[in-house]
Amino acid sequence: MVGIMDDIEFEEGKIALKPGQQIIIYSDGISEPQNTNGDLYEEVRFKDWLLDHPNCTPEETIELLIDDVKAFSDSDQQSDDITLIIIKREEG
């Protein structure tokens, strides 16, 4: 579990990934950084970034996405932890 608090309820389940599919687990350090105007990076921007980069390897996704978050916030200083886990099923 990543970032689970004691008072949060969740459902346990199983999922079968098809070849090429992936699961991305992330902390709020990805979706909540602010820029100098006070705007949040937000999940919509995160999802749009992923859709714009469908052919990246998990390693490329991690590197490029963190670069994009840092560029958005216009700072090398991060105010929160950044956790990003990508599990991808091999194709073929």
- Evaluate if residue 76 carries a pLDDT over 80: no
Read off the pLDDT of residues 21-41 as tens digits, 9 standing for 90 and up: 999 998 888 888 888 898 999
Residue 5 reports pLDDT greater than 80: no
- In degrees, to the nearest 5, what angle opens at C-alpha 23 toward C-alphas 52 and 66? 50
At 53, the pLDDT band (50, 70, 90 cuts) reads very high
**Residue range 58-74: average pLDDT?**
92
Rounded to 5°, angle at Cα 28 from 23 and 32? 125
Written as six digits, the tokens of 53 are 């980069």
pLDDT surpasses 70 at 58: yes
